Amino acid sequence: MSRTFITCAFLLGLLLPVQAAMGATVKDIQAQGTAMIKDAEDMVAHGGMGDTKAIVHHCGEVSRHAEAILKALPPSDPHGKEAQPHLLEAIKHCRRVAELGDKVDPGASLNPAIKARTAAREAVKHLAALRESGA
């Protein structure tokens, strides 16, 4: 990966939660969802390679994105309400991964990581509907 890409990805990760706190737009929420899915996919991929530290790291990022999305969701939008339980589910499973830590067998943390990825994917489906509704 190029150094510029890594720098941009790092800055994007820092700026998106700030935008969420300042009143995120639907595009900002969608960008958070995309970043959350990327981390969820990386988390499971690293789990398949036996890298427990990477699972814990990416699961922490999934939780961070999910929390930022929850704060930014329009309270009256029905699609946002449908995404909430899935975001909370992803956070719950990532907390379990964090509790297990990086010293356990990768298989032990991979199961909740896969559940977190599934919940994140479902949440993003609802977030796409949020965008389409023009909320």
Distance (Å, rounded) from C-alpha 71 to C-alpha 62? 14
The pLDDT of 44-50, averaged and rounded, is: 87
CATH number at residue 125: 1.20.120.660
For residue range 84-105, what is the model confidence (pLDDT) as tens digits? 999 999 999 999 999 999 889 8
pLDDT category of residue 13 using cuts at 50, 70 and 90 = low
Which residues have a Cβ under 8 Å from the Cβ of 106 and sit 6 or more positions away?
Answer: 47, 50, 51, 52, 55
Looking at the structure of the chain, the number of domains it has is: 1
| Chain-centre distance for alpha carbon 103 | 23
Range of the domain at 35: 3-133
Map tokens 């990768």 to a residue: 106
Tell me, what's the pLDDT at 74? 86
Percentage helix, strand, coil for the chain under 3-state DSSP, each rounded to 5: 85, 0, 15
- Is the CB of residue 90 less than 8 Å from the CB of residue 116? yes
Q: Is the pTM of this model over 0.75?
A: yes
Angle between helices 106-133 and 52-72 (to 10 degrees): 30
